[in-house]
Chain A
């Protein structure tokens, strides 16, 4: 290889690196970050975007250069050089991707543990037993001695059910009506390392059902269809589902957690930007999956307290069995779906047809 081509390769390498570094920071693909956890994910994505841009430019560049430079000339019927391989080169291009993916893995692990995904002190997943479920089944007397086993899911579920707001929906929760639960606490995003061992500042129970989200605020009797959160306070969402699998997703928080019927899962995070963001169901949950969305409103603690006061007032004034704020479980399917149906041009008949399936 002659000197000018080495210089050229070096220059191309520098340009590719600079372009990658620039694009990795300026791709403009991510929505605004509204939680303390979000910038961590964004930095990881930017790093991956930088590497990806470089790889993309190299591969597509080689293909384009080959197509132009090495295309067959019309009068040339000979073969190319018989190059079968080059061991050092092959080792090099095995080692480089290996190092890159190892690097990304370690970085992802770090980000994930900073978000609270890995908490070394938490053994709730590893040591849960499902005995209680069987013990509670009619006729399972033999298993009765096993009921002492600690069951985190059962505890959580009972805590959630003891809360008056959730108790309101109790009749409507099939898995809670018919089943004792699986004895599984679904893995989740837990406390960030600096808040390990501390209780979250706010706890809200989230229930997914076809086709709405319900948020109940413990100790307040308040159940709403919109999620209100005070800014800068760590919040824990206890997520469960009534009928089918849903997934709680707020793109601006970069957080998603499936709501699986029969399981309890948690998201712990700190919102840090005032605003309204969409809450989306990300897991296919039926015909009206696309309209299963609401919003999360992040507001100052004062506004939050004011809003909470109003809600409690409403809750006190109305009888508990009447609809509190938006409470779709009180409506029949047809009533609940009627507003969406009119928007979509669906007739009542076709709705009945749907539900009779």
Chain B
């Protein structure tokens, strides 16, 4: 297909004769606009984040003292089970992929919407019922077998809560598969003419890798849960040893999804950090291809490491060695990303605003989680610390220090684009400082607790661990308080904040080339790539907005980012008009 044909096809509107501006009422209804759906995801999941956070605060209140004195032990089990389920399935996964993915992917690739707008809406509208369903389980005895729901415990403990948990997670998994298919097709087929795979913004690469992972692994979880539901409700014995079933088989099936799930949770944040750092460091991303391909490598390796969760349960020795090595190898592509980010900020001109602070916080906290991950991969050490607070610390450094810091970085970075209003920077910094302190107080001592012998998922513990646990609980309260400045800031700014310009951060990716907030169908004219997404310091980025395909001014520019601008920077085309050395600019 020729470029002209592509262009012609891209010009066909996806939504017929809809109005050009999004009305506020659309955010409360069945919209097929990817931006509306993205914001619906973000707001809905944020509400679940607050619910999950309240549950976590209750858990830490129980653990502030060694005795089991705040709630009954079975209620305690329900608290951490629902906390984990909410945070994983109703916050990080849907906020990262559903929220930011939906909002950003079509804008970043210059498309008018996702490939399947109605499927997109269906995927979102599975989230609220699934969440409400899960919460309703508190009325009938919430699930208390942990978010892993290992049989036989999940079969012998309360039936109603467990059945609700299975239904809820099945719904969320289905939503995740539908969204994944949509992303793969959108990224594959709907990039704006001139955008090859290697000119695509890195967030799209990470969403592509994430979606492949979700589409491959989530059905296995669905299988495990359906079989578990049969064991629970019909009395079959797939996993129930009293009838000859094998509980270890469930663990294999569960972790075949749930280990990749941590990459489903972190890969979109990797992508967002790769978008945010170059903009605020005013430097091109370092090692574009290395970062892009390492996402694919993580996605592939992520599928073959699941049994490292089972080193103490039932894997033969040779298999443990295989999974130890594959797990460790993941450190290599992850390390490539971290070092590339460090090289990106090195020598830049860092604007230390809230988005950048959260992005830097993301790197520094994620590194700690990554390092403890390598330690956990070593079988002899894992045997010692498996199922202890060391693991709790590790997973919170990855999923809170990583994913949640990443989500906040994204919030601060794209809030002006999404709402057309600027957030208050001072309150953003207060939020960051409180969260950073609270987070480290809450989770750093857990490493020591785990190594010294405190197992996880217990309502009462040895009094010798009391001091460290109290510190953790105080940190958790600070963490809870830290969300208040954000909520106030976001609500107030959304309604009455100062109006945001189209491109407040001087970004080069396509979402900044349209209005804030973007109109329905995103772009007035189809966007054309004039520079690569990260060509900071290489040319006059202001010439880029709205250059039509047949721009007579500069055939080189409209030829796309592989052309002259990708070569060595021309001193005549310096970043800022004031810095230009002569008037030989080729305009």
Which residues of A are in contact with B by a Cβ distance under 8 Å? 29-31, 40-41, 44-45, 48, 52, 55-56, 59-60, 62-63, 66-67, 70-73, 76-86, 89-90, 93-94, 97-98, 100-102, 104-105, 107-109, 111-112, 115, 117-119, 125-126, 133, 174-175, 178-180, 182, 184, 186-187, 189, 243-245, 247, 249, 251-252, 254-258, 260-263, 265, 278, 280-291, 343-346, 350, 354, 357
Contact = CB atoms under 8 A, between A and B. Distances in A.
B81 to A, nearest CB: 9
Contact of B536 (A82, A115, A133, A343): A82
A55 B367 contact: yes
Contacts of B242: 174-175, 178-179, 261
Interface in B208-258: 241-248
B64 to A, nearest CB: 15
B394 interface: no
B246 A262 contact: yes
B18 to A, nearest CB: 39
Interface string B321-337: 10011001101100110
Contacts of B457: 284, 289-290
Contact of B282 (A62, A80, A97, A282): A80
Nearest to A190: B317
18 contacts: A31-B452, A56-B371, A59-B342, A63-B364, A70-B346, A80-B347, A81-B537, A109-B324, A182-B241, A187-B317, A187-B320, A245-B150, A245-B247, A256-B387, A282-B387, A284-B77, A343-B67, A346-B72
A44 B380 contact: yes
B349 A90 contact: no
Among A48, A189, A255, chain B packs the most CB atoms within 10 A around the CB of: A48
Contact of B349 (A76, A89, A243): A76
B549 to A, nearest CB: 26
Contacts of B381: 41, 44-45, 48, 108
A104 B328 contact: yes
A284 B312 contact: no
A182 B579 contact: no
Interface of B: 67-69, 72-74, 77, 141, 144-146, 150, 152-153, 156-159, 241-248, 281-284, 286-290, 312-318, 320-321, 324-325, 328-329, 331-332, 335-336, 338-340, 342-343, 345-352, 360, 363-364, 367-368, 371-372, 374-375, 378-381, 383-384, 386-388, 447-448, 451-453, 455-462, 535-538, 569, 574-576, 579
B453 to A, nearest CB: 3
Contact of B384 (A84, A86, A251): A251
A161 to B, nearest CB: 16
A251 B287 CA distance: 44
Contacts of B331: 97, 100-101
Given A182-B244, A261-B152, A286 B316 contact: no
Contacts of A265: 314
A186 B380 contact: no
A249 B340 CA distance: 41
B151 to A, nearest CB: 8
B455 A93 contact: no
Nearest to B282: A79
Contacts of A261: 152, 241-242, 247
Nearest to B329: A101
Contacts of A255: 383-384
A62 B244 contact: no
A44 B378 contact: yes
Given A70-B346, A81-B537, A94-B336, 7 more contacts: A48-B375, A71-B352, A80-B537, A93-B335, A260-B313, A261-B241, A280-B455
A92 B300 CA distance: 23
Given A41-B384, A82-B537, A291 B460 contact: yes
Nearest to A122: B317
B459 A83 contact: no
Contacts of B339: 90, 93
B332 A97 contact: yes
Contacts of A118: 317-318, 321
A48 B376 CA distance: 10
A290 B282 contact: no
Contacts of B74: 287, 354
Question: Nearest 9 CB-CB pairs, A to B?
Answer: A262-B241, A290-B458, A251-B453, A79-B537, A80-B348, A101-B328, A79-B575, A80-B283, A82-B537
Contacts of A117: 317, 320, 379-380
Contacts of B282: 72, 78-80
Nearest to B289: A85
A260 to B, nearest CB: 6
A11 B454 CA distance: 40
B73 A288 contact: yes
Given A79-B575, A258-B312, A98 B332 contact: yes
Given A67-B350, A174-B242, A175-B241, A82 B569 contact: yes
Contacts of A70: 281, 345-350
B246 A77 contact: no
Given A30-B451, A41-B381, A350-B72, A105 B569 contact: no
A46 B399 CA distance: 26
Contact of B387 (A82, A175, A179, A247): A247
A282 B313 contact: no
A103 to B, nearest CB: 10
Given A117-B320, A249-B455, A282 B388 contact: yes
Contacts of A179: 241-244
Nearest to B370: A55
A182 B284 contact: no
Given A83-B284, A346-B72, A256 B383 contact: yes
A82 B283 contact: yes
A36 B239 CA distance: 36
A226 B461 CA distance: 19
Contact of A289 (B352, B360, B364, B458): B458
Contacts of B343: 83, 86, 89
B244 A133 contact: yes
B229 to A, nearest CB: 18
Contact of B316 (A105, A126, A254, A256): A126
A346 B380 CA distance: 39
A66 B247 contact: no
A101 B281 CA distance: 31
A5 B246 CA distance: 61
Nearest to B294: A94
B314 A263 contact: yes
Contacts of B317: 112, 117-119, 125, 187
Nearest to A248: B312
A83 B347 contact: yes
A285 B148 CA distance: 12
A175 B317 CA distance: 25
Contacts of B347: 70, 80-81, 83
Contacts of B321: 109, 112, 118
